[in-house]
């Protein structure tokens, strides 16, 4: 099962409202596309079209976003800043445990959504969603040795 399908299953298992699950999946798709674009990876028209629809239409018309945007916008902004810092560290050859943790900011967003939905005991389940190990990450980048 690919990571996107696996993520969708995890979100469903948290019993989040459908609109919250849909919003998170849209954010996930856009995040993946932006990260691939920053890395110079091939995106292709289908992914670009899907991301455009998400960014310009679905994310703004999602009923969960409409109810929670005042809380979610600063969380999203923080995740963008964390992703950029980790991406810059990776590009500078300074990837380490800190950049590994910050690149996983999407899961902070998931936990915030759980909290907003009244699911207070989701921490371990959200922690388990992150499929990449530090060893896998370390293999992608020239990490400094401790």
Report pLDDT digits (tens) over 7-18: 999 999 999 999
Burial of 61 (0-12, 13-18, 19+ CB in 10 A): exposed
pLDDT of residue 146: 58
pLDDT at 121: 94
Helices 63-91, 18-38: inter-axial angle, 10-degree rounding: 30
Which helix (H) or strand (E) element contains residue 85?
Answer: helix 63-91
Tokens of 33: 């596309």
Residues in the chain with pLDDT < 70? 1, 142-146
CA distance 40 to 37: 5
Q: How many CA atoms lie within 13 A of 12 on its CB side?
A: 6
The domain limits of the chain are 3-140
What pLDDT, on a 0 to 100 scale, did the predictor assign at position 119? 96
């Amino acid at each position: 099962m690919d990571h996107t399908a696996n993520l969708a299953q995890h979100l469903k298992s948290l019993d989040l409202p459908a609109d919250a699950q849909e919003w998170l999946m849209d954010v996930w798709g856009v995040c993946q596309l932006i990260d691939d674009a920053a890395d110079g990876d091939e995106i292709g028209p289908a992914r670009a079209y899907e991301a455009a629809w998400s960014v310009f239409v679905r994310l703004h018309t999602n009923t969960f976003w409409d109810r929670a945007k005042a809380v979610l916008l600063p969380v999203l902004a923080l995740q963008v800043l964390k992703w950029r810092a980790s991406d810059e560290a990776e590009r500078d050859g300074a990837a380490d445990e800190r950049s590994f943790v910050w690149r996983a900011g999407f899961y902070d967003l998931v936990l915030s959504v759980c909290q907003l939905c009244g699911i207070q005991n989701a921490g371990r389940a959200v922690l388990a969603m992150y499929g990449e190990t530090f060893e896998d990450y370390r293999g992608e980048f020239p990490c400094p040795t401790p």
